Amino acid sequence: MSRIGKKPVEIPAGVSITYNADGVVTVKGPKGELKQSIDRDIKIEVKDGTVDVIRPTDQIRHRAMHGLYRSLISNMVKGVTEGYKKQLELVGVGYKASNQGNLLDLALGYSHNIIFEIPKELKVNTFQDKGQNPMIQFESVDKQLIGQVCAKIRSLRKPEPYKGKGVKFAGEVLRRKAGKAAGK
């Protein structure tokens, strides 16, 4: 058995979970509502304040989906109760970020600024404290969406290994390389 898959998901107060015949799990909470389609082989049982994910056989495919769907449901429950936050840090001379609503304007050392449209499900905030690098902060109830948007923005200018310039997650530790002089 999957250790993650057989662990039940606790439903906190104020959260309702429904599972319909079409294979869609809907989680409603104080911060919003999320939906996830579930494979037709996997069964979901909602009872006594917990959600159980049940697989029909021990096939490799069923074992893989067992833990996956349990984790997705757990992330949805956490998202509608607490929400998720991620921060990106822009390291480099002249790197800037600003936003008007859900349009993010990034200056990342290219000949032009990059205008990035943020999905309406995310809240974005840009700020820069004196003497610190510019920061972009995202808030959402959807863990998958916030991770995907952050990864896309990070891919616009990945941190390089020599000086560490680029877009990185706040608190991310980069492997640094020594320059040419250290090779002699």
Residue-level pLDDT at 183: 55
pTM for this model (two decimals): 0.88
- DSSP E strand boundaries for 82-165: 84-91, 96-100, 103-107, 114-117, 123-127, 135-140
Helix (H, G, I), strand (E, B) or coil at 38: coil
113-169 residue pLDDT tens: 999 999 999 999 999 999 999 999 999 999 999 999 999 999 999 999 999 999 999
Residue-level pLDDT at 178: 87
46-93 residue pLDDT tens: 988 999 999 999 999 999 899 999 999 999 999 999 999 999 999 999
Domains of the chain: 9-81 (3.90.930.12), 84-169 (3.90.930.12)
